[in-house]
Amino acid sequence: MAGRVSITLPGFSHANPIPTASRIGPFLFSGVLTGRDSQTRELPPTLGEQCANLFAHVRALMDAAGGSSDDIVKMTFWLADYRDRDALNHQWLALFPDASSRPARQAMAATLDGGCLIQCDLVAILGLATDS
């Protein structure tokens, strides 16, 4: 694959003119992913609902990029309530059940606007993951 390729997701877009993610060769970098509902375009009121939507966007992004969650090497999360990680951990364990094969993760406190309780971005290297 030559050059940079923008990746967009149906029902998920930014207010600014940027793609959901960008890929050069096997390297994939996302922009900020939120827990916005892709059908209603609204942010649900609870962290659990936003986390479920956010991880659905992660799965959709990896599929659109031609990869899978096995290709993700790092995820960074920003939380409105830094200590409230139960909903995040629930979705994390569902997507990455194997403790010996999880991406790196960083979680930080953030002041988020518009009812957003969580955001993340990710880095993936596509096509290198193998079954071990």
Q: Which domain holds residue 41?
A: 4-125
**Which pLDDT tens digit goes with each residue over 11-27?**
777 778 899 999 999 99
User: Considering the domain boundaries, does residue 130 fall inside one?
Assistant: no
Task: Give the Cα separation of 47 and 126 in Å (integer).
Answer: 29
What pLDDT does residue 15 have?
A: 75
**pLDDT confidence of residue 130:** 59
- Confidence at residue 71, expressed as pLDDT on a 0 to 100 scale: 98
Separation of alpha carbons 102 and 99, rounded Å = 6
Low-confidence ranges of the chain (pLDDT < 50): 1, 132
- What pTM did the predictor assign? 0.92
pLDDT for res 2: 61
From 39, 35, 123, select the one nearest 79 (Cα to Cα).
35
pLDDT at 126: 97
pLDDT given for residue 132 in this prediction = 44
The answer to whether residue 15 sits within a structural domain is yes
Question: 46: domain CATH number?
Answer: 3.30.1330.40
Within a domain: residue 80?
yes
**Per-residue 3-state assignment (H helix, E strand, C coil) for 43-55:** CCCCHHHHHHHHH
- Asked whether residue 131 is domain-assigned, the answer is no
What does the chain come to in residues? 132
Q: Considering the domain boundaries, does residue 132 fall inside one?
A: no
How many structural domains compose the chain? 1
